[in-house]
Amino acid sequence: MTTDKLVLPSPPRPGSDFARLCRRITDAGLLDRRPGYYTARIALVTVLFAGGWVAFALLGDSWWQLAVAAFQAFMFGQIALLSHDLAHRQVFKTRRSAEIAGRLAGNLGIGMSYGWWMDKHTRHHANPNHEELDPDVDPDVLVWSQRQAREARGVPRFIGRHQALLFFPLLTLEGLNLHVSGIRAVARPGLRRRGLEAALLFTHIAVYLAALFIVLPPGLALLFFAVHQGLWGVYMGSIFAPNHKGMPTLTGKTDLDFLRKQVLTSRNVAGGPVIDVLLGGLNHQIEHHLFPSMPSVHLRRAQPMVEAYCAEIGISYLRTGLVSSYRQTLKHLHEAGAPLRKAS
């Protein structure tokens, strides 16, 4: 829906509502860095990632390699989540340190351009769910509103009719899409440290493919590739889809302030520590959008404070279960594609 369909909360009180919330969060120490936590997390992810490739080398020509492929799909997702935290300056104080670690994790570790993704994600944070400004709701494959559906041409028009049914199958291609988008980014002028990004990205691709076809026979190598990349894509989509898909979309110039724009377009996913690990803390999406540099380990503590504050000033705050979040996403996709089904 667009802003004209949003039920807007009462006008903000004099002063900044977000500034008052920010003071409470700061006073609670939730914006303080957690070097010990990130040292332990990076070490654990590195050991597990390396261990997966050691198991791959030791197993050789074995159907158990498909279990390794599934495990490494999970580890690719965990490394992507670490890259996300690095890009938001949650780990290091300096930009240089964050960029070095981000390029090693993203480009070299999983074959995803850190610079391309950081630019895209920064634009998303500035204008979440804005149909003209948020790259995450570009109608390049799927349509995210009925307005986009009515204007759709080509692939989105073809897929949009049944996009709810096709959503999870299409996610199997998301891993490949991340690789291809990275290659396109380094092929075009304008990317910061483009040469370094390209060198690390192509090193990852060369070593990855060489390992597959040296250790495994061709058929099993291709099957490993399909399982690994397909499950990684589904995992990545399953992390990010619950956050905004199915929430109100915006168009044009809005009168929403920062606090309301971030809260009203985001959805939290309820759950315990296991959900926190699986989704990298992004299940606390509202808190993350309000405080992007907050260490992900603090988001759980910030959540009840933010929810209580939103209730205090009359802002709608949505928190739902994981399965319910996917159900809402698919329902929204089905409704968004309605004009295409009527036209066919």
Q: State whether residue 250 is helix, strand or coil.
A: strand
Q: Which pLDDT score, from 0 to 100, does residue 15 have?
A: 52
Share of the chain above pLDDT 90, in %: 89
What pTM was computed for the model? 0.92
Quick check: 114 and 196 in contact, CB under 8 A?
A: no
pLDDT at 176 over 70: yes
Q: Are the C-beta atoms of 266 and 209 separated by less than 8 Å?
A: no
What is the amino acid identity at position 127? Answer: N
Half-sphere exposure of 321 (CA within 13 A, CB side): 3
Neighbours of 142 (CB within 10 A): 23
Nearest to 287 by CA among 31, 13, 12: 31
Reduced to 3 states (helix: H, G, I; strand: E, B; else coil), residue 130 is strand
Residue 7 has pLDDT above 60, yes or no: no
pLDDT at 13 over 80: no
Q: Which band of pLDDT confidence, cut at 50, 70 and 90, is reported for residue 271?
A: very high
pLDDT, position 190 = 87
Q: Per residue in 110-158, pLDDT tens?
A: 999 999 999 999 999 999 999 999 999 998 899 999 999 999 999 999 9
Q: Is the pLDDT of residue 8 over 60?
A: no
pLDDT tier for residue 253 given thresholds of 50, 70 and 90: confident
Q: What is the pLDDT of residues 178-230, one digit of tens each?
A: 999 999 999 999 888 999 999 999 999 999 999 999 999 999 999 999 999 99
The pLDDT value given to residue 10:
40
pLDDT recorded at residue 254: 82
Residue 344's pLDDT is what? Answer: 67
pLDDT at 233: 97
Angle between helices 218-244 and 65-87 (to 10 degrees): 40
Is residue 58 classed as helix, strand or coil in its secondary structure?
A: helix
Q: Report how far residue 177's alpha carbon sits from residue 164's, in angstroms, rounded to the nearest whole number.
A: 19
Residues 313-327 have pLDDT tens digits of: 999 999 999 999 999
For residue range 33-67, list pLDDT tens digits in order. 999 999 999 999 999 999 999 999 999 999 999 99
Number of DSSP helices (H) and strands (E) in the chain, helices first: 17, 2
With a cut of 60, say whether residue 286 has pLDDT above it: yes
Query: CA 10, CA 260: separation in Å to the nearest integer?
Result: 11
Is residue 237 over pLDDT 80? Answer: yes
Instruction: Please tell me which residue, 343 or 305, carries the higher pLDDT value.
Output: 305
Mean pLDDT of the chain: 92
**Other CB atoms closer than 10 Å to residue 308's CB: what's the count?**
11
